[in-house]
A and B are shown apart, each in its own frame.
Chain A
Amino acid sequence: MPVSLEDVDHIARLARLGLTDEERTALRGELESILGYVEQLAKLDTGGVEPTASMRDDSTPTRPDRTSNDDDAEKLVERAPDRQGTYLRVPKIIEASE
């Protein structure tokens, strides 16, 4: 299945990846071969087979609705690159309207 460089750029932008020209070309080849493999699989007749959602034949486990946090923002926030008090601090987000 052909993958264009524009496809690579689009996916890289969604994933916030900055790629060099060599990486773009290499990834284009890799993506084509992955999709080619999936195309092969798609040729199989799976009409009577239910889609596999998980390798385990089980429902997702649950936990009781009880609080267990220790209200210690400090020890988590101190791992962030930047902070102000116990807030995390990030470069300005611009939410402009036109």
Chain B
Amino acid sequence: MTSWRRYLFEPLLNNNPITIQMLGICSALAVTTNLKTALTMCIAVIVVMTVSSGIISAIRHHIPSSIRLIIQITIIASMVIVIDQILQAWFFEISRVLSIFVSLIVTNCLVMGRTEGFAMHNGVVPSILDALGNAAGYSLILIFVASIREILGMGTLLGIPLLPLAEHGGWFEPMAFMQKAPSAFFIIGLLIWGIRSIKTEQVEAAKITLHGTLPMSATSREGGS
């Protein structure tokens, strides 16, 4: 029972796919300009990951290892197409913004990473929980980044005006930079810094030493980064 809970909650913060595993960064940059698209992307990723992890885990004993990756991709890609079709049919406005990114879920390293790294070796229930947990961890970061970018970039949240805009006589001047992709890099970077300052066990050992400086792990141990 505790291990089940671990599958589900571990990826939220302690082993978050974005801040620790560094998977799925590209889509995190692309869809986080506002909260609505981010939420839709989260739901799509959660559904695709959970269903494909479940299916792959269920047939894992019969997947020949020589063609396992292609079988995983086929299943994930089919799921993605089905989701994309559903979006186009019932959520047309959102699909116009998201269609290209939804198609790219196929190449989202996170989905393949979890099916190949977990679902291929574990039972159906743990695989589904692991997929749910990782997708939720991914969603958590997306929602966080998207909220910051929408509030600072447009002064709204989910399209509801939050800060009085200067052009309507308020004090808030929207930061155009927040609507550009690089801002997500900064936010994710600051977020990782913040998380690792609190949870110092997440700090990785330095792989390189810059000339004339102490190794990074040494500085972070001394100064707590």
| A and B are interacting partners | no
Interface residues of B (CB under 8 A from A): none
